[in-house]
Each structure stands twice: as structure tokens, then as C-alpha cells.
Amino acid sequence: MILGAGMTGLAAGWASGFPVFEAEETPGGICSSCYVRPGERATV
Ligand SMILES: Cc1cc2nc3c(=O)[nH]c(=O)nc-3n(C[C@H](O)[C@H](O)[C@H](O)COP(=O)(O)OP(=O)(O)OC[C@H]3O[C@@H](n4cnc5c(N)ncnc54)[C@H](O)[C@@H]3O)c2cc1C
């Protein structure tokens, strides 16, 4: 089990095949966009 779906957790999950659990609603951590969420269109 991997806690955190930032770039590190997503890469670890991809490499290991273990499930990744994220505390926030969307993955990406501090590397995620402030403007685009899944299902939304970019506004800038
Ligand atoms: C303004 C800015 C610009 C940057 N520019 C660059 C760049 O040009 N090049 C570069 O290489 N890097 C850059 N970085 C750095 C890069 O974005 C980070 O090093 C990288 O995103 C860190 O990823 P991480 O997965 O280690 O951590 P994080 O992105 O912090 O992800 C951790 C995740 O774990 C989750 N989490 C925490 N606790 C729990 C819990 N108990 N249970 C479940 N989930 C949990 C968090 O919600 C978060 O989603 C930049 C960073 C910033 C802020």
C-alpha cells in the first residue's frame, strides 16, 4: 500500500503494482494544476 498520489506515489504504484491511496480528491500532489481538474476544461 502506498500513501499519497503525488508524482512519487504514482511512480511507486506504477512500478510496484501496489494500490495508491490519496487523501485529497484528485491525484498529483503539489505537481497538480490549480486550474484543471478531471472532467473540467482549462480556463486559462
Ligand atoms: C512552484 C513549484 C514548482 C516546481 N517546479 C519543479 C520543476 O520545474 N521541476 C521539478 O523537477 N520539480 C519541480 N517542483 C517540485 C515537484 O513538484 C515536487 O518535488 C514533486 O511534485 C513532489 O512530489 P511528491 O509525490 O514527492 O510529493 P507531493 O506532491 O507533496 O505528494 C504527496 C501526496 O501525498 C498525499 N498525502 C499526504 N499525506 C497522506 C496520507 N496520510 N494519506 C494519503 N495521502 C496523503 C498528499 O495529499 C499529496 O497528494 C516544483 C514545486 C513547486 C511547489
The verdict on the CB of residue 12 being under 6 Å from ligand 1 is: no
The verdict on the CB of residue 2 being under 6 Å from ligand 1 is: no
Give the closest residue to 5 by CA, choosing from 29, 33, 36.
29
Ligand 1 centroid, distance to 6 Cα (angstroms):
5
pLDDT per residue as tens digits for the range 22-44: 999 889 999 877 666 778 776 65
Cell, residue 41: 476544461
Cell, residue 10: 504514482
Rounded to a whole number of angstroms, the distance between the first and last alpha carbons of the chain is 36
Cell, residue 29: 500532489
Rounded to two decimals, the pTM is 0.85
Rounded to an integer, the average pLDDT of 1-29 is 96
Query: What's the rounded Cα separation, in Å, for the pair 33 and 18?
Result: 25
Please give the pLDDT value at position 44.
54
> Which comes out higher in pLDDT, residue 1 or 42?
1
Rounded to an integer, the average pLDDT of 2-29 is 96
